[in-house]
Amino acid sequence: MTQGPGPAADRPVDVADSSVGELMSNVMKDLSTLVRQEMELAKAEVKAEAGKAARGAGMLGGAGFAGYMVVLFLSLALWQGLANVMDAGWAALIVAVVWVIAGAVLYATGRREVRRINPKPERTVETLQQVPDALKGERP
């Protein structure tokens, strides 16, 4: 855990002339600063994970659009195939197959991104586990 700039970091600790009230006030200020810093760290980590979730959701949205295009082109292919018996229908079917491949790639990539999301703020949990030792005066 890094210690941020502040008056507690700049002055030596001399408690001989301090009252219990002053000591408790200093402890409460330090704990308040620590909690604020941990909250900022947690916010930053959650924001990074939310960005990953947004990218994965965007890819899944792209897969949904590709699925829509597959249905559209398969419908057109069937219509053209029945109307012309060969030429234009097969061309539309090839386009539909391309959309199936694009949709499959977007779906697989989006699913992989969503699975990589880690909603637990790892660094925050790690530093919070060090708080009891720091309160006891031990260093990691």
- pLDDT confidence of residue 1: 44
Assess if residue 58 is contained within a domain: yes
Question: Residue 77 class from Cβ within 10 Å (0-12 exposed, 13-18 middle, 19+ buried)?
Answer: buried
Q: Would you say residue 29 lies in a domain?
A: yes
Number of domains in the chain: 1
Establish if 138 belongs to a structural domain: no
Residues 6+ apart with CB under 8 A from 93: 73, 74, 77, 81
For the stretch 89-98, pLDDT in tens is 777 777 778 7
Higher pLDDT pick, 93 / 61? 61
Domain annotation covers residue 28: yes
What is the pTM (predicted TM-score) of this model?
A: 0.41
Rounded to the nearest angstrom, the gap between the alpha carbon of residue 89 and the centroid of all alpha carbons in its chain is 44
Domain that holds residue 93: 20-123
Note whether 73 and 96 are within 8 A (CB): yes
pLDDT at 138: 65
With respect to residue 98, please indicate whether it lies within any of the assigned structural domains: yes
Residue 42 belongs to some domain of the structure: yes
Classify 135 as helix, strand or coil: helix
